[in-house]
Chains A and B, each alone.
Chain A
Amino acid sequence: MPDLTWLYDAVARLLPFEAMQARFMQRALVELILLAPMCAVMGVHVVNFRMAFFSDAISHSAFTGVALGLLLGADARLTMVGFALAVGLAIVAVGRRTTLSIDTVIGVFFSTVIAFGLAVVSRDRSVARTLQMFLYGDILTIGEAEVWLTAVLFAALMGFQAVGFNRMLYVGVNPALASAHEVPTRTYQYVFAALLALVVIVSVWAVGVFLVTAMLIVPAASARNLARSAFGMFWWSLVVAATSAVAGLLVSAQPWARTATGATVVLCAAGWFAASALASRLR
Chain B
Amino acid sequence: MTTPAISFENVSVTIGGVRILESVDAQVRRGSATAIIGPNGAGKTTLLLAALGQLPFTGRIRIPDTPRGAARLGYVPQRLDFDRGMPMTVMDLMVMGPQRRPLFVGRSRRRMDAAMSLLESVKADSLASRRLGALSGGELQRVLLALAIQRDPDVLVLDEPSSGVDIAGGSLLCELLDTLRAARGFTQLMVTHDLSLVTAHATDVICLNRRVMGQGPTSSTLNAAVLAATFGLHLGVADLHPLPGCTHDEHGRQPHADA
Q: Which chain A residues have a beta carbon within 8 Å of chain B's beta carbons?
A: 48, 50, 99, 161-163, 165-167, 169-170, 172-174, 176-177, 179-183, 223-224, 227-235
Contact = CB atoms under 8 A, between A and B. Distances in A.
A231 B107 CA distance: 9
Contacts of A174: 77, 80-82
Contacts of B73: 180-181
Contact of B103 (A165, A177, A180, A182): A165
Contacts of B131: 228
Interface of A is mostly: helix
B45 to A, nearest CB: 11
Nearest to B151: A181
A166 B77 contact: no
A234 to B, nearest CB: 4
A230 B92 contact: yes
Given A169-B88, A229-B92, 6 more contacts: A161-B104, A170-B96, A224-B86, A224-B87, A230-B87, A231-B103
Interface in B63-112: 72-75, 77, 80-83, 85-89, 92-93, 95-97, 99-100, 102-104, 106-107
Contacts of A48: 83, 86
Give the 7 A-B residue pairs with the shortest CB-CB distance, closest first.
A180-B75, A165-B102, A234-B104, A166-B96, A227-B87, A230-B92, A230-B103
B96 A169 contact: yes
B88 A230 contact: yes
B180 interface: no
24 contacts: A99-B16, A161-B102, A162-B102, A166-B97, A166-B99, A169-B88, A173-B86, A173-B93, A174-B82, A176-B54, A176-B75, A176-B77, A177-B144, A180-B75, A181-B73, A183-B97, A228-B89, A229-B88, A230-B87, A230-B88, A230-B104, A231-B107, A232-B87, A234-B104
Interface of B: 15-16, 49, 52-54, 72-75, 77, 80-83, 85-89, 92-93, 95-97, 99-100, 102-104, 106-107, 131-132, 144, 147-148, 151, 157
B104 A173 contact: no
A171 B52 CA distance: 16
A180 B76 CA distance: 9
A94 to B, nearest CB: 16
A179 B15 CA distance: 20
Contacts of B102: 161-163, 165-166
A50 B151 CA distance: 28
Contact of B106 (A179, A182, A224, A231): A231
